[in-house]
Structure 1
Amino acid sequence: MTHQQPQQTTGRVSTGLPGLDEVLDGLRIGDNVVWRVSDLDDYRRFVLPFLDAAAKAGRQIIYLRFGEHPPIIDQHPAVRTITIDALGGFESFTSRVWHLIERHGRGAFYVCDSLSELLNAWATDAMVGNFFRVVCPFLFELDTVAWFALHPDRHSRMTLDRIRQTTQVMIDVHRHGDDVQIHPIKAWRRQSPTMFLPHREQAGQFRPITDSSDATRLQASLESGHLHRQPLLDYWDRLFQEVSRAVFEQDQACMPDLQEQVLQVMISRDPKILELARRYLTLEDLLTIRSRLVGSGYIGGKATGMLIARNILLKDAPELWQPNLEPHDSSYLGTDAYYAFLVHNGLWPAIMRQRSPEGYLSEAPALRKAILTGQFPAEVRSELERLLDHYGQYPILVRSSSLQEDGFGNAFAGKYDSVFLINQGAPEQRLAELEDAIRQVYASSMSDDALVYRKQRGLDQREEPMALLIQRVNGRFHGRYYLPDAAGVGVSRNTFAWDSAMNPKAGMVRLVMGLGTRAVDRIEGDHACVMALDHPGRQPFRNPDEHYRFSQHLVDLLDLQEGHLETRPLSQLLDTVQDLPMAQMGEIDRAASTRAEQIGLPGPVWRLTFRPLVQFSSFIQRLSSLLSTLEAGYQHPVDVEFTLHIDEQGEPSFNLVQCRPLATIGDTGPVTLPEHLPAEREIFRTQGHFMGGNINLAITRIIRIDAAIYANLNINQRFDVARRVGEVVRESSASTLLIGPGRWGTSSPELGVPVRFADIAGVSALVEVSENAGDMVPDLSYGSHFFQDLVETGIAYVALFPESDQCRYRPDLLPGEISQPDNASDIERAVRVYVTDQTPLQLTGDVVRQELVCYRPVDPKQ
């Protein structure tokens, strides 16, 4: 139960020392008191009388213990000590303190450890100031009195100034031998002729030093004791000063420890990512990152992945990648800048409401709107101006790089925004557009997609600050348009191989002309070129017409005239731009060119097949090397994004813009296949014949086509079944497993179920079963456009061959079937639906072991 004190708004509070009360005219309810001391013993000697006075007045007293120094309070009978771990980061610590203050309510008194101790946990001085700017107003609002200590020599002037501006009372304590003086710096709404003079302690009284000669001598003695102290620099800056010194002097004894310190505060908290960073990011690399960092804190997962991947290539395969990997030109906006933005705009109370279980989704729209209208602190704006000076008028891309993004287990693919800027116009306009882009990415952390994704993965209560990766867009100016020659997504494991001859370990690429947006996003009606790297020429199309239909027709680019990203038909683009590298990207369709000429249309007609690039350049060899080198470095399959720059000889150089552990489908992270599974709980199991990487899905609904009934239907009825499946899929957003005979999406109903992809795009997993009735056999080489859609949508795929000794299939064990009326038609009876939301089925596939099983877990209620 919350302990409530009577509300007091004008009452005075004693410091416990009558002489000090006289100097300050007492304390007021709501005061935050900051003691700036060189020795914590000087803080303790003022704390103890305050505690006694507060206890005598019947106050609830809380001691917030978070420092590594000896306790300020040791077993005082009136004090409750609460220990808080600051190592979890700014947000978790600040949130814990906020909720603690909220829980204890009005009128509680607080004594805190030295704020300077937070530097040991966070390493970023600015965040100490931001913590105080969040907590101090909240304490004031709840009519508390709170005491804090601070070592002024450990903080920057900016942080000291912000704490001074926020607090109500600030007192300096100086000691010279046995001579102790206090010097009130601030006492809000109090004034006397001598209040802000130094006061010398004498027999419990504090006498103002009114003689200027004495004051001058005092100041001189204090300054002489500070001669050997470091200047007032941010802790972060002092750390990197030491790093710079160690690198310059090649101080091998210090370098490993300094590398570890920097990795812990700038790169990651993920143990696996840290291990990679220790091997591939040197102190010199870390200094370079620091030189391109706006603010302080972490650079986030996307930036970290890109930098580590580039260094893996340059270190492990230097002969190939020194000449063929373009230097990166990225900048970073640190996570502390994100928190500083929230604090600067007074959004922390809104953040706390959103972090609560009841406000997690409901408070997000208002917070998202507030972020979109927020202003940046002056020190961040000035750094952004310098960043724009560096890029000139080249287009830039502002990308999310949150703390958890692109790590092992949580890809966050597509959950946060990226914003292209053409970066044209006056400096003031370019800065305003950059700030808008940053706000948009910040606000995307409050989107429904991002919030639901985090909650589904148990990450909703974990710290997720947003850093930013700002990159020069790789490409060329083509008159009013700007675009790279080509871009793509490569994966080191081809989990969607459509031919048994293809080796999954050889990898796969999805390649497009222009910006890579069309390679990473599924665009209705258009397709990237999908190639298995060990068989790049093997395309599973039945005829040239199908090859054309399921290829790229639209190109994403930056339109400098319109001022944003645009999509142009390839034919229209070729009418206006003459210098595109079509000789490497495509081929002339001679039959289509002849037809166009006959009806008076300009020619020739180009098809984006990428065959010249594949056949006559080192593209496949280089990309294969890139993926295999990165997988070896990561010791895990990888997923990369890249752009290509084609030289005059038609050879590509790569610009690696993103690398992450290969994303999984369903719940992320490593998967564990059940051992010794009882036969009555196993629905199906297969060695191989599945796609989608590691699969770990909880299935709450199954739609199964009864093969025996389906085999006896005529062609029209089979199309009716396909329509019925679409209706059932759309009835629920539950995690759905679709099981059917033969080939889903076939245009030949005798070979399977002729659904359209749009009818089943919402399912989680697709199962094709080889049935004895007719020719209904799974065949990935058929109708590749359908499986391109699977690739781009992230639907897991399984092919079952029950006649094989490597497969077991028991549909009779499926639980939760919804009964049908006696007068159900053959169409309705063919589509069987099962609901297992109380005890979901588990679909688990291990891509390394090439084994997959669908089973009923043990019901926890049994």
Structure 2
Amino acid sequence: MNHEPLQSDERVPTGLAGLDEVLDDLRIGDNVVWRVSQLDDYRRFVLPFLDAAASTGRQVLYLRFGEHPPIIEDHPAVRTIRIDALGGFESFTSRVWHLIEQHGRGAFYVCDSLSELLNAWATDDMVGNFFRVVCPFLFELDTVAWFALDPQRHSRMTLDRIRQTTQVMIDVHRHGDNVQIHPIKAWRRQSPTMFLPHREQQGEFHPVTDSSDATRLQASLELDTLHRQPLLDYWDRLFQDASRAIENNDMQAMSTLKEQVLQVMISRDERILELARHYLSLADLLTIRQRLIGSSYIGGKATGMLIARNILLNDQPRLWQTALEPHDSSYLATDAYYAFLVHNGLWPSVMRQRSEAGYLSEAPALREGILAGRFPAEIRAELERLLDHYGQYPILVRSSSLQEDGFGNAFAGKYDSVFLVNQGPPEERLSALEDAIRQVYASSMSEDALVYRRQRGLDQREEPMALLIQRVNGRFHGRYYLPDAAGVGVSRNTFAWDSHMDPKAGMVRLVMGLGTRAVDRIEGDHACVMALDHPGRQPFRNQDESYRYSQHLLDVLDLDEGALVTRPLSQLQPAAPQLPLPHLAEIDRQATERARQIGLDGPVWRLTFQPLVQKTNFIDRLSQLLHTLENGYRHPVDVEFTLHLTPDGEPAFNVVQCRPLATIGETGPVSIPERLEPGQLLFRTEGHFMGGNINLPIERVIRVDAPAYAQLTTSERHEVARLIGQHMRMDSAPTLLIGPGRWGTSSPDLGVPVRFSDIAGVSALVEVSEKSGEMVPDLSYGSHFFQDLVETGIAYAALFPDSRECQYHPEHLPIPEPLNTEATPPERAVQVYQLGDRPLQLSADVVGQQLVCYFPK
């Protein structure tokens, strides 16, 4: 650290004249670290310092966070402030930061032993990072702060970082009644004997100037520590003890250590911990540790994936020992995220962003700082070894934040995932991996993520970002790499579009290629959606419509371009002749004949997945998978998976994500009016809605007029999305949002490209099939946008006015709010209806699959 331009020359006494003489006094701005094996040796130096500070009228704050007896008791010049360290590194460090900020310049501080933080955090690296954050801040504010630590409890890396950061460091050694101090660092001070050991005699400190005496002193100290545990990280000692307990088959120690490891590596959520206690063994936890970079939590996404796999292997071993693909995952722990922020000097920016005023406004600057950051050397070395393990197989870098994929907080699509083709020389692959990690870290500062956290009351809770790094399941097909198929399965089908479907049977959203097209709203294309109890029953009127609304585009990794790309199936077929199309698709005979007539070779395939359904045990296995996981979680689940097909088409599953499914609970019996007078009905539909039983009053309708929207340019359609967000922020009345095609698509040709954060306060969302622009609703159950609707309790309906099961009468709405004569085309496309004293009623009966929106009498 180079603080030289800022150092004050003002001297501060330690309260012991002999010690002042050794150190040439303290200076304003000094952080003083006492390395002691017994806290009494720290306490005896603290008390004279307090008396000296009190005599000059200094304000002294005692930061009390340890479990040891207090360092200071009932001193008239001292204010004791208790701080809970159990909330984690971020909350503790933030609390200390704000205290320093609040008390401003010139305050003095005495702190408990930093080693006590290990009891709360278990990870030694964070003790060093805490000091690297607060020491420069204390220095800037012209304070003097005293700290203690037991050097035998910390790693050499932590001790070195604290030494590099502090201004003064003193070792205290005790050999019986003989006490010596040994200044290790005294910044900007120097004397011929300052850094020699000093014996204390009646308040004076005499340097040991005889080399023979110094050698004997050092030998006696080494003899005292000969039988002590070597300098290992606390985290490493924990797992060392766990390995020893397993080796000795010490059941009591294994039980105790397993609970300790779960608390510091798996979760703080008691419901997740309950699952982990049941399904993760101590040996499992040691296996995770072997694949972990850094220390502390692996995050919610990684935890969910691991628990799900063990539920299957433990509860249905005969099936899943063969039908479940082995995973090949690594983990970048939460402390690596904090270490990255501290290493790049970003903590002041973090504190500004965490404030109420800066929560959104400071995020872009912090995001840019993260994207420009560099990794600590020890993490970079581990990333190199990780790439050695994966070779040149493509890998996926996924967010796995502390709160992610928990009960009620899925964070679906809020944070980035980055595919890496992982080709080229090692240094290029390492650079690409570092860029991907920075991108995922930076995505924690996206507006969507921050708004989501605030809406769910999580904005003040610690949310460090861990990472799940996985080998991409798939095969090489020449220049392309892709899995045979992928999908999202849900154990409860709350989008049952047919009254014969059992919601408890579950549902799947299936694609060929990478699973990105199963979890995101597809632009100009469709995933295959199947109810697992009626997989052959599709929401289409005929075979042509089934083909039209099937998947035509595949997401694949292009090794030549070095990126994730989207390719038409027809273009992939010649380049990848080994694609398992006979197991996933059907031949469109009419299209094949038309192609033959114009000189094109080969059949035209349609990805209906009917061979997989009809000729293999896919449906049965997926149903068992979802049922077993729901039983294990004791809650409906949402599962992402890939499929690896045998030569005869039988699927093996690779579970890549599992989380509790957010559902809109039933509201009890709902009365659906049989007859309505002319003018009462806005819409009615059989099926095509989500939310269970619904009973909502609607006080405002925002409707995008389809013909007007169809005439807009692409930029004007984005302006429509912005205007809708503006209307939602202006008024919190219960609102029904109606628009053509798909809400939340990134393609304005398919619908309105709103972000979820723009419409998060809406009560119900309606997508209408409109002839203008061929905008068709997408039954995108399992997509991130849809998951947001479910989590937030937003009712959803898809209206197909041309079908017999649907009635839609927008003309029954009252006159919309007037526009001024200078209204732009986007403003004219957005119609707002304030219903005032005559609200609409939205009612749904999930059993009868009836949804109606009407004006009550």
The one-letter code of the counterpart of 1:834 is Q
2:97 matched residue in structure 1 = 98
1:158 matched residue in structure 2 = 157
2:412 matched residue in structure 1 = 413
The one-letter code of the counterpart of 1:506 is A
Contact 1:171 1:183 in 2 (8 A): yes
Deviation at 1:106, TM superposition (A): 0.4
- Cα separation, partners in 2 of 1:84 and 1:697, compared to 1, 3 Å: farther
Deviation at 1:598, TM superposition (A): 1.2
Contact 2:523 2:750 in 1 (8 A): no
Deviation at 1:759, TM superposition (A): 5.6
Distance in 1 (CA, whole Å) between partners of 2:72 and 2:413 is 50
1:702 equivalent in alignment to 2:700: yes
Distance in 2 (CA, whole Å) between partners of 1:348 and 1:414 is 26
1:339 equivalent in alignment to 2:338: yes
Which of 747, 751, 766 is the matching residue for 1:758? 751
Distance in 1 (CA, whole Å) between partners of 2:692 and 2:98 is 39
Distance in 2 (CA, whole Å) between partners of 1:192 and 1:488 is 71
1:786 equivalent in alignment to 2:777: yes
Deviation at 1:703, TM superposition (A): 1.9
1:215 matched residue in structure 2 = 214
Contact 2:506 2:626 in 1 (8 A): yes
What SS class does the counterpart of residue 751 from structure 2 fall into? helix
TM-score under structure 2 length normalisation: 0.85
Superposed, 1:580-599 pairs within 5 Å as 580-599=579-598
Contact 2:739 2:752 in 1 (8 A): no
What SS class does the counterpart of residue 183 from structure 1 fall into? strand
1:132 equivalent in alignment to 2:131: yes
The one-letter code of the counterpart of 1:703 is V
Deviation at 1:554, TM superposition (A): 0.3
Contact 1:642 1:655 in 2 (8 A): yes
The one-letter code of the counterpart of 1:78 is A
1:314 equivalent in alignment to 2:338: no
Deviation at 1:247, TM superposition (A): 1.0
1:534-570 Cα deviation digits (max 9, x unpaired): 0000112112221111110001100000111011000
Deviation at 1:460, TM superposition (A): 1.0
Distance in 2 (CA, whole Å) between partners of 1:276 and 1:106 is 49
The one-letter code of the counterpart of 1:13 is V
The one-letter code of the counterpart of 2:117 is L
1:723-744 Cα deviation digits (max 9, x unpaired): 99x999975322787769xx99
Distance in 2 (CA, whole Å) between partners of 1:455 and 1:125 is 31
Deviation at 1:138, TM superposition (A): 0.4
2:395 matched residue in structure 1 = 396
Deviation at 1:164, TM superposition (A): 0.5
Superposed, 1:354-753 pairs within 5 Å as 354-664=353-663, 691-692=689-690, 702-703=700-701, 731-733=723-725, 734=728
Distance in 1 (CA, whole Å) between partners of 2:53 and 2:338 is 35
> Structure 1 regions of 5+ residues with no counterpart?
1-6, 666-670, 678-682, 706-716, 747-754, 770-775, 801-810, 822-827, 856-862
Deviation at 1:721, TM superposition (A): 12
1:407-449 Cα deviation digits (max 9, x unpaired): 1111111111110101111111111110111011011111111
The one-letter code of the counterpart of 1:462 is R
Question: What percent identity do the matched residue pairs reach?
Answer: 73
> Structure 2 regions of 5+ residues with no counterpart?
1-5, 672-680, 742-747, 799-808, 820-827
TM-score under structure 1 length normalisation: 0.84
What SS class does the counterpart of residue 658 from structure 1 fall into? strand
Distance in 2 (CA, whole Å) between partners of 1:787 and 1:306 is 28
- Cα separation, partners in 2 of 1:104 and 1:8, compared to 1, 3 Å: farther
Count of residues paired in the alignment = 787
Deviation at 1:248, TM superposition (A): 1.1
Distance in 1 (CA, whole Å) between partners of 2:846 and 2:330 is 36
Distance in 2 (CA, whole Å) between partners of 1:768 and 1:730 is 18
1:45 equivalent in alignment to 2:44: yes
Deviation at 1:842, TM superposition (A): 12
- Cα separation, partners in 2 of 1:619 and 1:729, compared to 1, 3 Å: same
1:193 equivalent in alignment to 2:192: yes
What SS class does the counterpart of residue 624 from structure 1 fall into? helix
What SS class does the counterpart of residue 777 from structure 2 fall into? helix
- Cα separation, partners in 2 of 1:20 and 1:851, compared to 1, 3 Å: farther
- Cα separation, partners in 2 of 1:286 and 1:601, compared to 1, 3 Å: same
2:247 matched residue in structure 1 = 248
Distance in 1 (CA, whole Å) between partners of 2:852 and 2:24 is 75
The one-letter code of the counterpart of 1:786 is P
What SS class does the counterpart of residue 251 from structure 2 fall into? coil
2:825 matched residue in structure 1 = none
- Cα separation, partners in 2 of 1:789 and 1:631, compared to 1, 3 Å: closer
1:13 matched residue in structure 2 = 12
What SS class does the counterpart of residue 556 from structure 2 fall into? strand
Distance in 2 (CA, whole Å) between partners of 1:275 and 1:115 is 31
Contact 1:540 1:784 in 2 (8 A): no
2:227 matched residue in structure 1 = 228
Distance in 2 (CA, whole Å) between partners of 1:419 and 1:644 is 20
- Cα separation, partners in 2 of 1:690 and 1:84, compared to 1, 3 Å: farther
What SS class does the counterpart of residue 254 from structure 1 fall into? helix
The one-letter code of the counterpart of 1:314 is L
Deviation at 1:316, TM superposition (A): 0.4
1:833 equivalent in alignment to 2:826: no
- Cα separation, partners in 2 of 1:168 and 1:574, compared to 1, 3 Å: same
Deviation at 1:575, TM superposition (A): 2.1
Distance in 1 (CA, whole Å) between partners of 2:404 and 2:535 is 31
Deviation at 1:603, TM superposition (A): 2.8
The one-letter code of the counterpart of 1:315 is N
Distance in 2 (CA, whole Å) between partners of 1:699 and 1:58 is 64
- Cα separation, partners in 2 of 1:658 and 1:693, compared to 1, 3 Å: farther
2:3 matched residue in structure 1 = none
What SS class does the counterpart of residue 148 from structure 1 fall into? strand
Distance in 2 (CA, whole Å) between partners of 1:277 and 1:446 is 29
The one-letter code of the counterpart of 2:779 is Q
- Cα separation, partners in 2 of 1:57 and 1:745, compared to 1, 3 Å: closer
- Cα separation, partners in 2 of 1:851 and 1:85, compared to 1, 3 Å: farther
Contact 1:663 1:693 in 2 (8 A): no
The one-letter code of the counterpart of 1:453 is Y
Deviation at 1:692, TM superposition (A): 3.8
What SS class does the counterpart of residue 495 from structure 2 fall into? coil
- Cα separation, partners in 2 of 1:9 and 1:647, compared to 1, 3 Å: same
1:33-62 Cα deviation digits (max 9, x unpaired): 000011101111000000000000110100
- Cα separation, partners in 2 of 1:102 and 1:699, compared to 1, 3 Å: farther
- Cα separation, partners in 2 of 1:729 and 1:187, compared to 1, 3 Å: closer
Distance in 2 (CA, whole Å) between partners of 1:815 and 1:597 is 52
What SS class does the counterpart of residue 788 from structure 1 fall into? coil
Deviation at 1:664, TM superposition (A): 4.3
1:773 matched residue in structure 2 = none
Deviation at 1:702, TM superposition (A): 2.7
